[in-house]
């Protein structure tokens, strides 16, 4: 059985092929009566007509495809970003190609022979603008997520209020009496982690001690580095503030190996609120980042830019989720 064409729809409906194109292309208003438009749509449905999207996109010079570039697929956060972006894309007849950069946050390699020919735009999560030149970013609309809003080259930015997340964390720990802190920071060179470090320093204020240790984003690295930090001569920190839930899991393992009780001897906080946060014992106090929402906003921003409209929006709010890994500062060293 051959696939029905627009000409078949026109013949069956008793209208011209141009009328069918206007109706099925949703450009009929003011040109075709509502009654005729309804009749054409009903005829197309009865015949089982489906438009040739490839031919249509070729005529329009559009593939209705966006590329989402992420540093890695091993982090649940980026899977959630993709879910949000794909949901909005599907509602607008777009597809999203997910591309994990082989070099993490470093310069991304072009996964296509010609990115400009294969895509309508790029969404990049937690990447630097200069890392995207190989993807044809100079000739395509680029939307940056969780990235430096002052960096040139992006058509739109969508960010999380990560500085406020760190403010919420420090306010919580200071209220519990903590004054000696260890910042288990990510070793990844990224704007979002720089903001967290700056906010932590700003909100701790006078009368506090802060040490910083940088760790790769693995549980084993975080455990090893935390053990070394906690056994260094001097006053032991009473709270560990981690840039990521993965780092926090490593910190919790280090504490247990050293015979320290969480939170009686040591409080630990994370960032992201991954599934891991409720898999560890005790469950982790952490900053919840709305990953799906930033993906949704990123795709919405790209669609807005493609329509020729500037995109502006405030940072997405984040929330500290208090669980059992934090408690009052110990009264003895």
Whole-number pLDDT of residue 276: 93
pLDDT score recorded for residue 1: 52
What is the mean pLDDT, run by run of 10 residues, along the chain of 333 residues? 77 88 76 88 83 47 82 88 95 89 55 57 82 62 92 91 98 97 94 96 94 96 98 94 97 97 98 95 97 97 92 95 98 69
Q: Is 249 within 8 Å of 280 (Cβ atoms)?
A: yes
Nearest Cα neighbor of 41 from 51, 53, 31, 30 is 51
For the chain, domain boundaries: 6-51, 63-159+291-316, 162-289
Quick check: 158 and 145 in contact, CB under 8 A? yes
The answer as to CATH 3.40.50.720 being correct for domain 63-159+291-316 is no
User: What single string gives the DSSP state of each residue in 79-99?
Assistant: HHHHHHHHHHHHHTT-EEEEE
pLDDT at res. 54:
44
Superfamily classification of domain 162-289? Response regulator (3.40.50.2300)
Fold category of 6-51 in CATH: 434 Repressor (Amino-terminal Domain) (1.10.260)
DSSP 124-138: EES--GGGGGGGTTT
Tell me whether the CATH fold assigned to 6-51 matches the one assigned to 63-159+291-316. Answer: no
CA-derived radius of gyration, the chain: 26
pLDDT at 55 (0 to 100): 46
């Amino acid at each position: 059985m051959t696939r029905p064409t627009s000409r078949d729809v026109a013949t069956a409906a008793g209208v011209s092929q141009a009328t069918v194109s206007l109706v099925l292309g949703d450009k009929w208003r003011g040109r075709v009566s509502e009654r005729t438009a309804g009749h054409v749509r009903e005829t197309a449905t009865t015949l089982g007509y489906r438009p040739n999207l490839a031919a249509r996109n070729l005529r329009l010079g559009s593939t209705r495809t966006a590329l989402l570039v992420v540093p890695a697929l091993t982090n649940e956060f980026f899977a959630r970003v993709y879910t949000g972006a794909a949901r909005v894309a599907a509602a607008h007849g777009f597809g999203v190609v997910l591309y994990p950069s082989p070099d993490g946050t470093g310069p991304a390699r072009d996964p296509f022979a010609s990115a400009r020919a294969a895509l309508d735009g790029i969404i990049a999560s937690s990447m630097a603008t200069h890392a995207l030149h190989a993807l044809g970013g100079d000739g395509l609309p680029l939307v940056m997520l969780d990235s430096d809003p002052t960096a040139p080259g992006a058509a739109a930015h969508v960010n999380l209020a990560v500085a406020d997340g760190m403010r919420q964390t420090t306010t919580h720990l200071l209220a519990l009496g903590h004054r000696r802190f260890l910042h288990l920071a990510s070793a990844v060179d990224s704007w979002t982690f720089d903001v967290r470090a700056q906010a932590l320093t700003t909100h701790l204020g006078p009368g506090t001690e802060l040490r910083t240790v940088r760790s790769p984003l693995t549980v084993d690295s975080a455990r090893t580095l935390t053990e070394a930090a906690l056994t260094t001569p001097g006053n032991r920190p009473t709270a560990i503030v981690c840039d990521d839930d993965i780092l926090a899991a490593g910190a919790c393992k280090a504490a247990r190996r050293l015979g320290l009780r969480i939170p009686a001897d040591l409080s630990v906080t994370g960032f992201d609120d991954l599934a891991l946060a409720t898999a560890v014992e005790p469950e982790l106090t952490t900053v919840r980042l709305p990953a799906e929402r930033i993906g949704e906003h990123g795709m919405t921003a790209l669609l807005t830019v493609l329509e020729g409209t500037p995109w502006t929006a405030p940072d997405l709010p984040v929330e500290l989720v208090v669980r059992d890994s934090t408690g009052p500062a110990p009264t003895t060293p």
